[in-house]
């Protein structure tokens, strides 16, 4: 079943787990069912991000497959607190890595990426992602209860503004105002990060 999922991107049965936390816990224990559900929930979302950036479908599919393969192979060692943040953050580094390799392949010696070895890039990539992930989670925890709730419904549970308004029994304008406030606070509190991380953060928050 695992190989079938990786080769076709199709899942054959209904969800077994009720949350990503349950899926992550089961994944650490080697559950292929948990992996397959994560794959089904996030493959299309990640693919749309990648193909929107690199415009080549086959390359986009390969990048997304690499993310899921890495998730499976490193399932026991990865410390993932929020699955959304991990997958979307990882896919952005994969896109950057893709462009870096393309630049090297085309002999663009003037590019800064051309002088970075794969080993150095992997190390910098992981350190930057871990730093970014911790910073975002810490900032979200500092939001007011209502703003944090709305932000998580939007970014983690992928609810629309209209859906959030119905769930919380508030107007769509209220939801929109809280989202704007949350994004403003996050950008402000993370303004001291390097340009590299800040650029990634900007796109990350716009997902």
Short-list 36, 32, 34, CA closest to 11: 36
pLDDT digit string (tens) for the chain, length 207 residues: 445 455 544 454 557 888 999 999 999 999 999 999 999 999 999 999 898 888 888 889 999 999 999 999 999 999 898 899 899 989 988 888 888 777 665 554 444 444 545 544 455 556 666 666 677 777 888 888 899 889 888 877 778 888 999 999 999 999 989 988 888 887 777 765 544 444 444 444 444
Question: How close are the terminal C-alpha atoms of the chain, in Å?
Answer: 30
The CATH number assigned to the domain with range 1-116 reads: 1.10.1740.10
* Cα 56 to Cα 48, 63, 81, distances in angstroms: 11, 11, 31
Q: State pTM to two decimals.
A: 0.52
Q: How high is the pLDDT of residue 142?
A: 82
Give dist(CA 95, CA 106) in Å, integer.
17
Task: Kindly report, as residue ranges, where domains of CATH 1.10.1740.10 are found in the chain.
Answer: 1-116
What is the SS3 assignment for 87? Answer: helix
122-207 fold:
Arc Repressor Mutant, subunit A (1.10.10)
Task: Kindly report, as residue ranges, where domains of CATH 1.10.10.10 are found in the chain.
Answer: 122-207
């Amino acid at each position: 079943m695992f190989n079938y999922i990786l080769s076709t991107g199709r899942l054959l049965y209904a969800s077994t787990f009720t949350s990503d936390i349950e899926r992550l816990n089961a994944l650490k224990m080697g559950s292929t069912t948990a992996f397959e559900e994560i794959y089904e929930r996030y493959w299309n979302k990640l693919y749309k991000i990648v193909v929107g950036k690199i415009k080549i479908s086959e390359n986009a599919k390969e990048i997304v497959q690499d993310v899921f393969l890495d998730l499976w192979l490193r399932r026991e060692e990865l410390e993932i607190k929020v699955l959304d943040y991990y997958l979307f953050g990882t896919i952005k580094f994969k896109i950057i890595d893709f462009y870096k390799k393309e630049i090297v392949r085309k002999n663009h010696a003037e590019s800064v990426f051309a002088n970075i070895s794969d080993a150095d890039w992997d190390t910098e990539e992981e350190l930057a992602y871990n730093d970014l992930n911790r910073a975002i989670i810490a900032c979200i925890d500092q939001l007011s209860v209502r703003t944090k709730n709305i932000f998580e419904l939007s970014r983690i549970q992928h609810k629309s503004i209209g859906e959030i308004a119905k769930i919380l029994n508030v107007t769509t304008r209220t939801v929109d105002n809280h989202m704007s406030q949350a994004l403003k606070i996050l950008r402000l509190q993370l303004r001291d990060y390097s340009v590299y991380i800040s650029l990634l953060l900007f796109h990350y928050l716009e997902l």
